[in-house]
Amino acid sequence: MNTRKKEQMNHHLIDNSNREMTTNDGVPIHDNNNTLKAGVRGPSLLEDFIYQDKMAHFDRERIPERVVHARGSGAHGIFESTADISAYTKAAFLKKGTITPLFARFSTVAGFKGSTDLARDVRGFSIKFYTEEGNYDFVGNNIPVFFIQDAMQFPDVIHSVKPEPDKEMPQAASAHDTFWDFISLMPEAAHMSMWVMSDRAIPRSLRMMQGFSVHTFKFINDKGKATFVKFHWKPRLGVHQVAWQEAQKISGYDADFHRRDLWEAIDAGDFPQWDLGVQLIPEEDELKYSFDILDPTKIIPEELVPLKIIGTMTLNRNPDNFFAETEQVAFDPGRLVPGIDFSNDPLLQGRVFSYADTQHYRLGGPNFHEIPINRPINGKYNNQKDGFARQDILKGNVSYFPNSLGGGCPYHAMLKGEKGFESHAEKVDAKKIRGRSASFADHFTQARLFYNSQSAAEKEHIISAFSFELSKVNSEAVRKRELAILNQVDKTLAKRVGDNLGLVPAKELDKLTIQFAKQNHPEYPIKPPKPEVEYSPALSMETKAGEGSIATRKVGFLVADGVSKVSIDKMKKALVREGAKVVLISTRVGKVKFKEGGEETVQHSYLTDASVCYDALYTPDGDSVKILSDEPDYYQFVNEAYRHCKAISFAKGAESLLEYTYVNKNELGKGVILESKHKLVQDFIHIMKAHRIWERETNRKIPV
Query: Which residues make beta-bridge pairs with 621?
Result: none
Q: Using the rule CB under 6 A, which residue among 1, 8, 9, 69 binds ligand HDE? A: 69
Closest separation in Å from C-beta 85 to ligand HDE: 22
- Closest to ligand HDE by CB, 112 vs 253, is 112
Residue 616's closest CA among 685, 567, 564, 670?
685
- Closest to ligand HDE by CB, 75 vs 539, is 75
- Closest to ligand HDE by CB, 156 vs 164, is 156
- Closest to ligand HDE by CB, 64 vs 282, is 64
Residue 594's closest CA among 566, 573, 575, 571?
566
Asked if 358 touches ligand HDE (CB under 6 A), the answer is yes
- Closest to ligand HDE by CB, 146 vs 557, is 146
Closest separation in Å from C-beta 593 to ligand HDE: 47
**The one-letter amino acid at 288:** K
Q: Using the rule CB under 6 A, which residue among 202, 214, 313, 501 binds ligand HDE? A: 214
Q: What is the total count of residues that contact ligand HDE (CB under 6 A)? A: 25
Total Cβ atoms within 10 A of residue 245: 15
Question: In the annotation, is 412 catalytic?
Answer: no
- Closest to ligand HDE by CB, 351 vs 461, is 351
Q: Using the rule CB under 6 A, which residue among 67, 87, 394, 526 binds ligand HDE? A: 67
Edge to edge, the sheet with strand 616-619 lists: 604-605, 581-586, 554-558, 616-619, 647-650, 672-674
Q: Using the rule CB under 6 A, which residue among 50, 71, 72, 199 binds ligand HDE? A: 72
**Which residues, other chains included, contact 283 with Cβ-Cβ below 8 Å and sequence gap of 6+?**
225, 226, 227, 228
Q: How many residues does the chain have?
A: 704
Query: Which residues make beta-bridge pairs with 140?
Result: 125
Contact 127, 100 (CB under 8 A): no
Binding mask 284-303 for ligand HDE (x = CB under 6 A): ------------x-------
Considering only 55-63, 352-360, 388-396, 658-666, which stretch makes contact with ligand HDE by CB under 6 A?
A: 352-360
**Which residues, other chains included, contact 364 with Cβ-Cβ below 8 Å and sequence gap of 6+?**
63, 388, 389
Closest separation in Å from C-beta 365 to ligand HDE: 15
Asked if 101 touches ligand HDE (CB under 6 A), the answer is no
76, 135, 141, 521: the catalytic one is: 141
- Closest to ligand HDE by CB, 351 vs 496, is 351
Distance separating alpha carbons of residues 139 and 127, to the nearest angstrom: 6
CA distances to 184, 381, 423 from 401, rounded to whole Å, are 53, 12, 21
Q: Using the rule CB under 6 A, which residue among 73, 100, 107, 611 binds ligand HDE? A: 107
SS3 of the chain: helix, strand, coil, percent, to 5: 35, 15, 50
- Closest to ligand HDE by CB, 65 vs 80, is 65
Distance separating alpha carbons of residues 492 and 498, to the nearest angstrom: 10
- Closest to ligand HDE by CB, 141 vs 611, is 141
CA distances to 605, 643, 670, 681, 685 from 650, rounded to whole Å, are 19, 17, 13, 10, 13
Q: Is 501 helix (H, G, I), strand (E, B) or coil?
A: helix
By CB under 6 A, the residues from 301 to 340 that bind ligand HDE are: 331
Closest separation in Å from C-beta 624 to ligand HDE: 45
CA distances to 11, 203, 459, 519 from 492, rounded to whole Å, are 60, 26, 11, 23
Closest separation in Å from C-beta 347 to ligand HDE: 5
Residue 618's closest CA among 669, 660, 700, 675?
675
Closest separation in Å from C-beta 310 to ligand HDE: 19
Q: Using the rule CB under 6 A, which residue among 221, 354, 455, 543 binds ligand HDE? A: 354
- Closest to ligand HDE by CB, 373 vs 463, is 373
Asked if 344 touches ligand HDE (CB under 6 A), the answer is no
H-run or E-run covering 308:
strand 308-317
Closest separation in Å from C-beta 349 to ligand HDE: 8
Closest separation in Å from C-beta 356 to ligand HDE: 8
Closest separation in Å from C-beta 342 to ligand HDE: 12
Q: Is 153 helix (H, G, I), strand (E, B) or coil?
A: helix
- Closest to ligand HDE by CB, 213 vs 587, is 213
By CB under 6 A, the residues from 114 to 173 that bind ligand HDE are: 124-126, 139-141, 146, 151, 154
Considering only 348-356, 501-509, 569-577, 682-690, which stretch makes contact with ligand HDE by CB under 6 A?
A: 348-356
DSSP state of 2: -
Contact 151, 208 (CB under 8 A): no
Asked if 66 touches ligand HDE (CB under 6 A), the answer is yes
CB-nearest residue to ligand HDE? 124
10, 12, 34, 69: the catalytic one is: 69
How far is residue 237 CA from its own chain's centroid? 14
- Closest to ligand HDE by CB, 314 vs 374, is 374
Q: Is the peptide bond before 525 cis (omega within 30 degrees of 0)?
A: yes
In 373-489, which ranges are E strands?
none
Q: Using the rule CB under 6 A, which residue among 347, 483, 571, 681 binds ligand HDE? A: 347
Closest separation in Å from C-beta 357 to ligand HDE: 7
Closest separation in Å from C-beta 528 to ligand HDE: 23
Considering only 66-74, 203-211, 549-557, 587-595, which stretch makes contact with ligand HDE by CB under 6 A?
A: 66-74
Question: In the annotation, is 69 catalytic?
Answer: yes
Residue 328's closest CA among 588, 190, 128?
128
Burial status of residue 589 (CB atoms within 10 A of its CB: 0-12, 13-18, 19 or more): middle
Distance separating alpha carbons of residues 343 and 361, to the nearest angstrom: 27
Contact 504, 232 (CB under 8 A): no
Asked if 77 touches ligand HDE (CB under 6 A), the answer is no
Residue 554's closest CA among 694, 696, 688, 697?
688
Cα atoms found within 13 Å of the Cα of residue 639, Cβ hemisphere only: 14
Closest separation in Å from C-beta 351 to ligand HDE: 4
Positions annotated as catalytic residues are 69, 141
> Would you tell me which residues interact with ligand HDE (CB under 6 A)?
66-69, 72, 105, 107, 124-126, 139-141, 146, 151, 154, 214, 296, 331, 347, 350-351, 354-355, 358
